[in-house]
Amino acid sequence: MMRLAAVLLLLASAQAAARPFTVEDALAVRLVSDPRLSPDGRWIAYVVEKNDLDRDEKTSRIYMTSVDGAETVAMTGETYSAADPRWSPDGRYLSFIAARDDLEENAAPQVYTLDRRGGEAEAYTNIPQGVLEHDWAPAGGRLLLAIGDESAGAKAAREAREKGAREPALPVVIDRLQFKEDGVGYLDRSRRHYYVQDGRLAAPKQLTFGDYDDYEAAWSPDGARIAFTSNRTKEPDGNVNSDIWTAELAKAGKPNAPQRVTDNPGTDSAPAWSPDGRFIAHTAQLDPRLIWYASAHLAVAPATGGKARVLTEALDRFFYRPRFSPDGREIYAMVEHEGEQPLVAIDIETGAKRDLIAGEHAIWAFDLHPSGLIAAQLSRPTLPDEIFVFSGGALTQATRTNEALLKDVALSTPFTATFKSADGTEVEAFFYPPATGRPKKAPTLLRIHGGPTTQWDFSYDVYAQLYAAAGYAVVMPNPRGSTGYGTDFARAIFAAWGEKDFEDVLAGVDHAIAIGLADPKRLGVGGWSYGGILTNYVVTKTDRFDAAVSGASGFHYLANYGHDIYQREYEIELGLPWENIEAWNRVDTLKDAAKVTTPTLFIGGAADWNVPILNSEQFYQVLRRRGVPTGLIVYPDEDHSIDRPSFYKDRFERYLGWYARWVK
Q: Are the CB atoms for 541 and 502 separated by under 8 Å?
A: yes
Sign for the CA dihedral angle at 633, 637, 639, 642 comes to negative
Of 381, 340, 416, 380, residue with least CA distance to 3: 416
pLDDT above 80 (res 647): yes
pLDDT band at 373 (very low <50, low <70, confident <90, very high): very high
Neighbours of 311 (CB within 10 A): 25
pLDDT at 107: 92
How far lies 238's CA from each of 174, 445, 534, in Å? Answer: 16, 39, 27
Reported as a single tens digit per residue, the pLDDT across 164-211 is: 899 888 898 999 999 999 999 999 999 999 999 999 999 999 999 999
pLDDT band at 16 (very low <50, low <70, confident <90, very high): low
pLDDT at 151: 86
In 3-state terms, what secondary structure has residue 647?
helix
In 3-state terms, what secondary structure has residue 256?
coil
Reported as a single tens digit per residue, the pLDDT across 585-616 is: 999 999 999 999 999 999 999 999 999 999 99
**Percentage of the residues of the chain whose pLDDT score is greater than 90:** 90
pLDDT above 70 (res 4): no
Instruction: Return the CATH number of 423-567+593-662, one of 3.40.1260.10, 3.40.50.2000, 3.40.50.620, 3.40.50.1820.
Output: 3.40.50.1820
pLDDT at 383: 98
pLDDT at 377: 98
Q: What is the DSSP pairing of strand 547-551 with strand 142-148?
A: unpaired
Reported as a single tens digit per residue, the pLDDT across 36-61 is: 999 999 999 999 999 999 999 999 99
- Range scoring the smallest mean pLDDT among 76-80, 151-155, 340-344: 151-155
pLDDT at 199: 94
Q: What is the mean pLDDT of the chain?
A: 95
pLDDT at 102: 86
How far lies 326's CA from each of 299, 323, 367, 372, in Å? Answer: 18, 9, 12, 6
Compute the distance between CA of residue 473 and CA of residue 435 in angstroms, rounded to an integer.
Answer: 8
How far lies 373's CA from each of 68, 81, 332, 370, in Å? Answer: 12, 29, 12, 7
1 vs 441 pLDDT, higher one: 441
User: pTM for the whole thing?
Assistant: 0.94
Maximal C-alpha separation, the chain = 70
Reported as a single tens digit per residue, the pLDDT across 508-556 is: 999 999 999 999 999 999 999 999 999 999 999 999 999 999 999 999 9
Q: Where are the domains of the chain?
A: 423-567+593-662
pLDDT at 156: 86
Compute the distance between CA of residue 452 and CA of residue 409 in angstroms, rounded to an integer.
Answer: 32
Reported as a single tens digit per residue, the pLDDT across 475-509 is: 999 999 999 999 999 999 999 999 999 999 999 99
pLDDT band at 440 (very low <50, low <70, confident <90, very high): confident
Neighbours of 147 (CB within 10 A): 22
pLDDT at 123: 96
pLDDT above 90 (res 162): no
Run of H or E residues at 14: helix 4-15
How far lies 544's CA from each of 214, 350, 381, 504, in Å? Answer: 48, 50, 28, 15
pLDDT at 315: 96
pLDDT band at 139 (very low <50, low <70, confident <90, very high): confident
pLDDT above 90 (res 463): yes
